[in-house]
Chain A
């Protein structure tokens, strides 16, 4: 099993550019989440999804969009990148039938200049 796969691993954007961070899981998990990690602030929830077609906002959703057309994929879109979005982004998935833990991808390090 590959688990949770995030691409790309690194990305540099110019202010105002848009891009999509990809996240795919092969564990058939219903729940998927996006977090951003900033020094001294831990992991903060951006958006999450409880199943295909259902998404909701976390604590820091502004400037980000998500969609969930399939169980496997949960892409995160930056509409117009800003320097404040420079961060490390983690995707996670959790089983809905057996809540044991969150399985994380390796992260995407994004720099907005």
Chain B
């Protein structure tokens, strides 16, 4: 069965500092991996996705993520955080064939001045 672990429930960073959100997955084959962002009271918006090819993927809002098969990880990064990045971030893994998507428990990001 596929699963996703986001070990950090809550992270606080200063505006302008760099950010890395961790994600580890378990899946039997090559996974489809996603990062979604959820602002308070809103639905989920896709930040970026990995299907195959280059292991460093670029997303919207200046985010990027790196797929590391040996570590079963797909960590999200941003060089300089803005106050508007405060939100909850979800890592997800998808299974092709019946398009089942499993989500992690989320990491809530707080940005301080």
Q: What is A's interface to B at a CB cutoff of 8 Å?
A: 31, 33, 35, 40-45, 48, 50, 90, 92, 94-96, 99-102, 104-107
Complex contact A90–B100 (CB within 8 A): no
Complex contact B101–A33 (CB within 8 A): yes
Residue in contact with A94 in the complex, picked from B9, B42, B99, B105, CB distance below 8 Å: B99
With an 8 A cutoff between CB atoms, is B25 at the interface? Answer: no
- Min CB gap A101→B, angstroms: 5
Q: Name A's interface SS.
A: strand
Query: In the complex, A106→B105 CA distance in Å?
Result: 19
In the complex, chain B residues 42-94 whose Cβ is within 8 Å of any chain A Cβ: 42-44, 46, 49, 90, 92, 94
Complex contact A101–B105 (CB within 8 A): no
Complex contact B9–A102 (CB within 8 A): no
B contact residues, range: 20 to 34
| A43 in contact with B94 given A90-B43, A105-B43 (CB within 8 Å) | no
Complex contact B90–A99 (CB within 8 A): no
Query: In the complex, A106→B43 CA distance in Å?
Result: 5
Complex contact B94–A99 (CB within 8 A): yes
Measured between beta carbons, the chain B residues less than 8 angstroms from A94 are: 99, 101
Query: In the complex, A99→B95 CA distance in Å?
Result: 9
Query: In the complex, A25→B69 CA distance in Å?
Result: 34
Complex contact A43–B98 (CB within 8 A): no
| A107 in contact with B105 given A45-B100, A99-B96, A101-B34 (CB within 8 Å) | no
Query: In the complex, A99→B100 CA distance in Å?
Result: 10
Measured between beta carbons, the chain B residues less than 8 angstroms from A45 are: 100-102
Measured between beta carbons, the chain B residues less than 8 angstroms from A90 are: 43-44
Measured between beta carbons, the chain B residues less than 8 angstroms from A95 are: 99
**Which of B32, B90, B100 gathers most chain A CB within 10 Å?**
B100
Complex contact B100–A48 (CB within 8 A): yes
